[in-house]
Amino acid sequence: MQGHRFGDTLAAMKLSAYLGEHAISDSAFAERIGVTRQSLWRYKSGERRPDWDVLERIAQETAGHVTPNDFLDEAPPVVPDAHASDSTPHPHPEGVRV
């Protein structure tokens, strides 16, 4: 599959480490989560991101050691507080009570 590669994501490393530490083969884990060994390899290599239902099964089978959030390579957007650096008081419009 050509296209976007997710790279060595935290989840891929965590999943590989979890399977290694618990001596679980790729074949056995793939069967537990209902995917092919090839699909599991793609998740572990970062070539593909699992669908949501598979992410949930991974979390369940790893007792929460690998979570769906681990597979998200984008951090949540940071929304700056518009008044954080502005220490001047702002008057409220007439008729508005605070």
Q: Give the per-residue pLDDT at 64.
A: 92
DSSP letter for each residue of 75-96: PPPP---TTSS--S--PPPTT-
Instruction: Report how far apart, in Å, the C-alpha atoms of 47 and of each of 2, 15, 22, 28, 83 are.
Output: 9, 14, 23, 20, 42
pLDDT category at 95 given cuts 50, 70, 90 is: low
Q: Please say if the pLDDT value at position 91 is more than 90.
A: no
Gap between the Cα atoms of 12 and 6, Å rounded: 10
Higher pLDDT, 93 or 27: 27
Gap between the Cα atoms of 83 and 19, Å rounded: 47
- Tell me the per-residue pLDDT of 16-75, one tens digit each, with 9 for 90 and over: 899 999 999 999 999 999 999 999 999 888 888 899 999 999 999 999 999 888 887 655
